[in-house]
Structure 1
Amino acid sequence: MSKNHTLEIEELTDITFYILLFLVQPKHGYLIMKTIDSMTNGKFLIGPASLYSNIQKLLVSGLIELVSSENKQRKTYQTTEKGIQLLKKEVQRRREMITLAEDIFNEKGEQV
Structure 2
Amino acid sequence: MSQGKLYQHYLPMSETAYYILLSLTENRHGYGIIQFVEELTGGRIRLGPGTIYGSLSRMEKDRLIAAIAEEDRRKLYRITPSGIELLKLEIARLKELYENSKLLEGYGDE
Distance in structure 1 (CA, Å) of the matches to 2:79 and 2:61: 12
Distance in structure 1 (CA, Å) of the matches to 2:38 and 2:7: 27
Aligned CA RMSD, in angstroms, stands at 1.8
Q: How does 1:61-76 map to 2 (within 5 A)?
A: 61-72=62-73, 74-76=74-76
Quickly say closer, same or farther: Cα 1:25–1:32, change in 2 above 3 A. Answer: same
Letter in 2 for 1:75: K
Q: How does 1:10-89 map to 2 (within 5 A)?
A: 10-11=10-11, 12-72=13-73, 74-89=74-89
- Per-residue CA deviations over 1:16-47 (Å, capped at 9, x if unaligned) read 10000010111011010000000111011111
**Helix, strand or coil: the match of 1:27?**
coil
Distance in structure 1 (CA, Å) of the matches to 2:30 and 2:56: 9
Which residue of 2 is the match for residue 98 of structure 1? 98
Which residue of 2 is the match for residue 108 of structure 1? 107
Compute the TM-score of the two structures, normalised by the length of structure 1: 0.83
Q: Is there any run of 5+ residues in structure 2 with no aligned partner, and where?
A: none
Tell me how far 1:69 sits from its aligned partner.
Answer: 2.0
How many residues matched?
A: 103
Identity %, equivalent residues: 30
Compute the TM-score of the two structures, normalised by the length of structure 2: 0.84
